[in-house]
Amino acid sequence: MAGGRAAAGGAGIPPYRRWYGGGMSELPQLPLSAGHRDRLVAGMAAAVRAHGYRDSTVTEVVAHARTSRRSFYEQFEDREACYLALFDVVGELLVEAVAASVDPAAGWEEQVDQALGTYVDAIASEPELTVSFIREVPALGAVGTARQRDAIESFARLLMRLASSDGMQRSGVSRVSMATAVLLVGGLRELVAHAIEHDEPLSEVRAVASDVIKSVLDPGRVTARAPH
């Protein structure tokens, strides 16, 4: 995916997939020509922004989507299914955006900064959705826990892939195990939620995460630990 999604606003891409660069706050203004499913996902995003998933209603979602309850139930079994569809869409977009932001020809530290910058900028544009996904998705029970695990593992695989690129390996960066990647991704998610909930600047999250990830990837650290 790296360097790949330059045409993120191009033809053939559903409107809610064009958020990055313009902000997902544009979702409720989808044109009436957008498909019902797209508009309902956008409507769910608007409802969650307003007061979280728990207090959102199908009536509110369809009002934002400018469609009917009948259309809602033609697309989704229930409110939870629509919310999880939103969760999936946002997760996929974020992975794509982060992957596309990394220049494989750049130095390894710059690549870390590029990936983190994209991630934090995206989170900063959608704090309400971010906290909802981190706190409310697991509260859905087994299905929510599984969905969150899949999202974390998706980001973990991206981190492993970026760390194992030719440029990273030429710089002496160590390959990242799944266990290490999950630890980094899970910790970053919790740090983001803590910062948003306590009204702390996300710039601090970026700085801390950058230091931690670079310390894990640092070729000097790998060399120092290598047996003689």
Domain spans in the chain, listed from the N-terminal domain onward: 15-80, 102-225
Q: What pLDDT score was predicted for residue 16?
A: 39
Does the domain at 102-225 match CATH 2.60.40? Answer given as no
| Residue ranges in 102-197 assigned as alpha helix (H) | 108-125, 127-136, 142-163, 166-170, 178-197
Distance between CA atoms of residues 169 and 175, nearest Å: 8
Helix axes 142-163, 178-197, angle to 10 degrees: 120
Q: What pLDDT score was predicted for residue 221?
A: 61
Q: What pLDDT score was predicted for residue 174?
A: 84
Q: What pLDDT score was predicted for residue 10?
A: 38
Please tell me the pTM assigned to this model: 0.82
Q: What pLDDT score was predicted for residue 167?
A: 87
Lookup: tokens for 105: 């020809």
First to last CA, the chain: 38
- Positive or negative: CA dihedral 194, 200, 202, 205: negative
Low-confidence stretches of the chain (pLDDT < 50) are 1-33, 222-228
Q: What pLDDT score was predicted for residue 25?
A: 42
Quickly count helices (H) and strands (E) in the chain: 11, 0
CATH of domain 15-80: 1.10.10.60
Q: Which residue is associated with the tokens 């900028």? A: 121
